[in-house]
Amino acid sequence: MKAIILKRLRERSLLRRHPWIFSGAIASVEGKPKMGETVDIITAEGAVLARGAFSPESQITVRVWTFDPGEEISPEFFHGRLERAIESRRALMSGEGPCGVRLVNAESDGLPGLVVDRYGDYLVVQFLSAGADHWKGSIAEALSRLVPALGVYERSDADVREKEGLPKIAGVLAGNEPGDLVEIQEGRCRFLVDIKRGHKTGFYLDQRENRGMIAEFAREKQVLNCFSYTGGFGVAALQAGAARVTNVDSSANALELARLNAEVNRIDAARMENVEGDAFSLLRRWRDEGRTFDTIVLDPPKFAESQSQLLRASRGYKDVNLLAFKLLKPGGTLFTFSCSGLMTGELFQKIVADAALDAGREAQIIRRLTQASDHPTLLSFPEGTYLKGFICRTAANR
């Protein structure tokens, strides 16, 4: 028998169906399981509670596959879980044009460490945990049966794999290799996605619904899109009638793709300005120059990778939001986000409130934002809600 035995009274989170077991909760390991192999999870009193994947090099030593200790972890198990996840997104794949949609969202779909995104005729897969990597072949085979695709491309090159003791891997997993750019349709917008080299799996699908909301605040407005990546919010704003959008990003390649995204949407190039550089430095310079905008989007990268980085991350969020409030015209609108999972919604609100106070601006939250519906959060796994955002409206008069 391959199993982990929990320390006394350390099964409480499991009884609440949380899928992670940390190394500090384990009293002993039985049967010498190898990395990624399935183990039974047993209480100090001998009760078998669940079955999960063993990851000896990670602080999260076991990720639960099933809370039914009698359920076999097999190729059929993964086929069933994948089928359930994919069917729940069927409506998102029924629109006109090639879709961009998350088909599997890791723990929240009962498949810890597995991410599957669809971009048109291609699937992009990330195996981010030892267990998901162990079952890679069975998962790939099940996907090929469940979702017709020209090819499956692996993007297991995220830093988190190092915490699992796994190497970074990227390349064709099945079928054909995608071209340099794959086109998807999102509402009225078309986007070109760099599957092989882009951030995450190529595009920020989690912001789909939030991009759609910018139309309400963009018409005939001057819009600043910070940390713009390939211009998603900017293109959505321009399609909604924005007078002009300024994209800011540190990557010249991302901004070139933003330019191409404007081009495929037949947007007049004169209405989009792409500025390469550090957002903090540029915002400070524009503040000093007295430049202002009607609508500002702040969608920075993850500032906190660990609890020890949370204080520094909080300072970063405070600084960039303070600068944004300084650059907003009276009555302007701020879309502000944090994708740091360790940042709670309450703390993020406090940081944004402090930024407004220090900027001398009165502001209201008029809408709370989170990740798109194809990035669900399992009720027993609150960590799954990583994207927090607010739409803030400043007072018309200072």
Give whole-number Cα distances, 13 to 22, 25, 380, in Å.
11, 10, 9
What is 3-66's CATH number? 2.30.130.10
Report pLDDT for 360: 96
Question: Among the CATH numbers 3.30.420.590, 3.30.750.80, 3.40.50.300, 3.30.70.1290, which is that of 75-175?
Answer: 3.30.750.80
Tens of pLDDT along the chain (398 residues)? 799 999 999 999 999 999 999 999 999 999 999 999 999 999 999 999 999 999 999 999 999 999 999 999 999 999 999 999 999 999 888 777 789 999 999 999 999 999 999 999 999 999 999 999 999 999 999 999 999 999 999 999 999 999 999 999 999 999 999 999 999 999 999 999 999 999 999 999 999 999 999 999 999 999 999 999 999 999 999 999 999 999 999 999 999 999 999 999 999 999 999 999 999 999 999 999 999 999 999 999 888 777 878 888 899 999 999 999 999 999 999 999 999 888 899 999 999 999 999 999 999 999 999 999 999 999 999 999 999 999 999 998 75
| Active-site residue, 339 included | yes
Catalytic residue, from 99, 226, 339, 392: name it.
Answer: 339
Instruction: For tokens 């009884």, name the residue.
Output: 15
CATH topology of domain 204-394: Rossmann fold (3.40.50)
Nearest residue to 112 (alpha-carbon basis) of 157, 66, 180, 172? 66
Domain spans in the chain, listed from the N-terminal domain onward: 3-66, 75-175, 204-394
Tell me, yes or no, if the two domains 3-66 and 75-175 fold the same way.
no
Give whole-number Cα distances, 256 to 195, 224, 272, 283, 301, in Å.
15, 17, 12, 21, 19
Report pLDDT for 398: 57
